[in-house]
Amino acid sequence: PFTRDRLGLCIQVDAPSKVDARGENWIFYGEKYSPFGYAWIFPKDKVTSIGLGALISHIKSNLRLYLAKLKEYHEFDLNKARFHPVPLSGPIKNIATRRVLLVGDSAGHVSPITGEGIKYAMFAGREAAKAISMALRGDISVKDVRTVYLKGLSKTVFPDLRIGRMLMRIVERRMLKSSGLFKDREKLRAVAELYASNISHFKAALKYLKAVVS
């Protein structure tokens, strides 16, 4: 299910944090920083993560060239950068059997519009644990674990991912690039709140679509 137009590629490197970082998260839009996506600088405890992501179908040159441009804002060793794929298809089918429950990237539990996956992997893991615990207690049979797990996902994970997939399709169909996508302040605010997890994908979609229409 992870075709080139539904699979992202990220490159990231960790570097010692600056003393004056102050926990500020930086996000960079535009073709200067990513062919179709965004770049970031995220300070952590003792290190700062610097990286970018892009839709594979839009990558025409080495992502290291884009990453190098972030040295303007934070020093790092480009040779230590690592790549990793990110599924952006939204929820996929066949992620559960009677005795196997997939969570996280393997199940497509990643936001198609932001690439956020840790939060959804945690939500899915919690739903999987609930279903398994119910079976161990004898509240449900083993054959019902799959049904209970998927029902839990339909309430906690799937809604956001489906809205995210819808937003991604809107972006693609309008042939919008990230440099022009976020010039409008209302669009930018909606997306920024989405990245910060201040609002749900649904509310972000309403804000963004309102800005597009107006």
Please give the chain's pLDDT, 214 residues, in tens: 577 878 999 999 999 987 665 667 888 988 899 988 889 999 887 899 999 999 899 899 999 999 999 999 999 999 999 999 999 888 888 999 988 999 999 999 998 888 888 989 999 999 999 999 999 999 999 999 999 999 999 999 998 888 888 877 776 665 455 445 555 555 556 665 665 555 566 566 565 555 555 5
In this predicted structure, what is the pLDDT of residue 121? Answer: 95
Domains of the chain: 4-87 (3.30.9.10), 90-214 (no CATH)
pLDDT at 75: 92
How far is the C-alpha of 17 from the C-alpha of 84, rounded, in Å? 22
pLDDT at res. 198: 52
pTM above threshold 0.85: no
Distance linking the first and last C-alpha atoms of the chain: 35
| pLDDT attached to residue 185 | 56
HEC secondary structure over 86-129: EECCCCCCCCECCCCECCHHHHCCCCCCCCCCHHHHHHHHHHHH
pLDDT of residue 179: 46
pLDDT at 67: 97
